[in-house]
Amino acid sequence: MRQRLINKSEPEQILLKGSFDKNTLVEEAISLHSLLFDTKISKEDWLEGLKFHSKTLTNLLLNNQIKEFNDYLSSQFGSVLQEISVDKLEVKTVTPTKKSGLLNMNYRSALQDLLQTAILIEHSTIPPYLTALYSIKDGTNLLASQIIRSVAVEEMLHMIMVCNVMNAVNIQPSVNRPQNYPTYPMKLPMNVDFFVGLETFSTNSIATFIAIESPSSPLVKAPIYDHIEENQSLLKSASVEENNFWTLENMKGFIMENVHTIGEYYDVLFFYIVVFQIIAYYKANGKLPQTFEELNTGGIFTGNPAKQIRPEQYYGSGGKLHAVEALSGVIAVFQEIKGQGEGADDTIFDVDPSQFEEGMELAHYFRFKEIFHEHYYLDGNYKPFMDENGMMPVTTPPVGKALPVDWNAAYPMKPNPKMADYQSNPQLYAQGKAFNQTYKNLLDAIQAAVEGDAKELEKSIMYMYALKEQAFGLMSQPLDSQYNAGPTFEYPTT
C-alpha cells in the first residue's frame, strides 16, 4: 500500500494554547498586526509570520476556541499597538498606512481565485470516485460500493458548500464552465507528488483515494481518534514587489510551498478569509477588532442570502450542509469538509463520537483504508500500535471484522479514457458523448442552484441515476483486446 504519497516534513508544534498575555513576547514570529500592516518587514519575517499566525488563528477558530481567539486578538491588536524590537530593545508603534498592499488589495478577486481552486479540488475527486464506483460489476462488492458512493456524494456536498462561501462574500461561483473541468490524469492544485486519474476499482485506485484524503496528522487516537497536526514545511523565497508582500501571487506561492493535503489548503484559505475580514472591519470602523463577535458579521459578507443552498434544499445523503452568512458559517463549512475528509475532533469519525447515536461514519481517509485492507476499524485491537497516550499512526491498518472485497469483480476499464479513443467506434462515441452531456446537465443544475434557483438541485438525483446507467453501458463494452471503454468526464462538444 502507498501509505504516504505526500512529501511532508516533520510537524512543528507552534500552536499557542490557552489565553494570550498582551505583554508576552512571541519569539517565533512577528505580531499579526505587523504581518498585516508593516511595510518595513523583510520577506523572511513576512513568510514566517504568515506561517505562524495562519496556524494559530486557524487552529483556534476551527476548534471553536472563541475565548482563546479573543485573547489572541487582544494580544495582537491591543489598544497600544506595539512591536518589540529584540535587537534594540525599544518599543515602537506601528500604524496601518495606505502604503500597505493588503489595505489596497481587491479581496474579491483574490478570494475568487482561491475559492474557485477549492471548488476545483472538490470537483477533481468526484469523477475518479464515481468511475471506480461505476466500474464495480452489478451485485458485487456491495459494502465497498456503499463506502465509495457515500464519499462521492459528500464531495459534491463540499463543492456546494464552497459555493455557499463564495456567494456569502458576493462572488459568483462557477462549476460548469470548461475551465472548471478537471483533466485526467492530473495532480490536485496543491503541492502533491502523485497523480489522480480515472481508473477501475482496484487496489491502486483505492490507494490513490487514500492519498487524496490523507490527514495532515501523523497520529490518531486509537482506535477511533484523529489529531490534526499541520506540517510546517520550509518556505522558499521568491521575488516580489518591494514593500508589498500581500499579493495573490505570494499568497498562492505560500500555499504551493506549505500545503500538501486538502485539509491544509482549507486551513490557509480560512486564514486568508479572516485576514480580509479583519481589513474590512478596520476600514469600516477605523480600529482593529478585539473579539470574534466584532469579526463575525458584516465586512466582506455582503452576498445575497437568497443564493445560499440550505439544508432543506439539498437532497444528497450523508453529511450536513451549512448555509453561510457570516464568518461562523465559514467555520461550520470548513469544519464539515475537514472532518469528513480527515476526521473531526481528534477522531477518525466525521462527527464527534460523543455526540453520536446511530449511523456514525468514518472520515473519508479511513473509509478507503477499510476497503484497501478488507477490514473495518471498529472492534479491532490496536494496543500493539498505541503509544503511552493512546495514539497510533494514521497509517495503522484496520483490524476489526472482515470487509469482503472481490478485486476481480470490476470491469477492466482503460485508465483515463478520452473521447478520441472512441472515434473509430460510432456506438461507443455516441455513448461517451451522452454520458458527458448528462454530467454537464448535473453541473448545470448545481450552477443554477448556486445562482439562486435552488429547485434546480432536485434534478441532480435524476442525473446521478442516469450517469450510473450510462457508465455501465460504456464499461461493459470492450475497447480493445486489453481494456473496456469507460466514461471520460470531458466537457461536451458539439
- Position 81 confidence tier, pLDDT thresholds 50, 70, 90: very low
pLDDT band for position 7 (50/70/90)? Answer: very low
Q: What is the arithmetic mean of pLDDT over 57-76?
A: 95
Q: pLDDT digits over 365-381, tens only? A: 999 999 999 999 988 89
What confidence tens digit (pLDDT) does each residue in 226-258 have? 332 333 332 333 333 345 799 999 999 999 999
Residue 282 has pLDDT above 90, yes or no: yes
Residue 87's pLDDT band (cuts 50, 70, 90): very low
The mean pLDDT of 336-358, rounded to a whole number, is: 60
Top-confidence residue, 246 or 315: 246
Residue 153: the pLDDT is 92
Residue 147 and residue 307 in contact, taking contact as beta carbons nearer than 8 Å: no
Check the CA dihedral 463-465-470-474 and report its sign: positive
Omega within 30 of 0 (cis) for the link into 426: no
The yes-or-no verdict on residue 28 having pLDDT over 80 is no
More reliable by pLDDT, 96 or 82: 96
Q: Is the pLDDT of residue 20 over 60?
A: no
CATH 1.20.1260.10: which residues of the chain? 101-410
Asked whether residue 86 carries a pLDDT value surpassing 50, the answer given is no
Q: What is the mean pLDDT of residues 38-50?
A: 90
Which pLDDT value is given to residue 191? 77
User: What pLDDT score does 390 carry?
Assistant: 83
Averaged pLDDT, 309-323 = 80
Ranking 157-171, 184-198, 401-415 by mean pLDDT, the lowest is 184-198
Mean pLDDT of 265-277: 96
Distance CA 379, CA 257 (A): 39
Percent of the chain residues topping a pLDDT of 70: 79
**Average pLDDT value over all residues in the chain:** 83
Least confident of 133-137, 239-243, 282-286, 436-440: 239-243
pLDDT number for residue 318: 60
- Cα–Cα distances in Å, from 44 out to 30, 38, 51, 172, 242? 11, 13, 11, 35, 13
Higher pLDDT, 328 or 235: 328
The model's pTM is 0.85
- For the cut 80, the answer to whether the pLDDT of residue 13 exceeds it is no
Residue 330 has pLDDT above 80, yes or no: yes
To the question of domain 101-410 being in CATH 1.10.10.10, the answer is no
Whether 6 has a pLDDT exceeding 50, the answer reads no
What pLDDT is stored for residue 341 in this prediction?
74
Residue 391 scores a pLDDT above 70: yes
Question: Which band of pLDDT confidence, cut at 50, 70 and 90, is reported for residue 14?
Answer: very low
Mean pLDDT of 254-280: 94
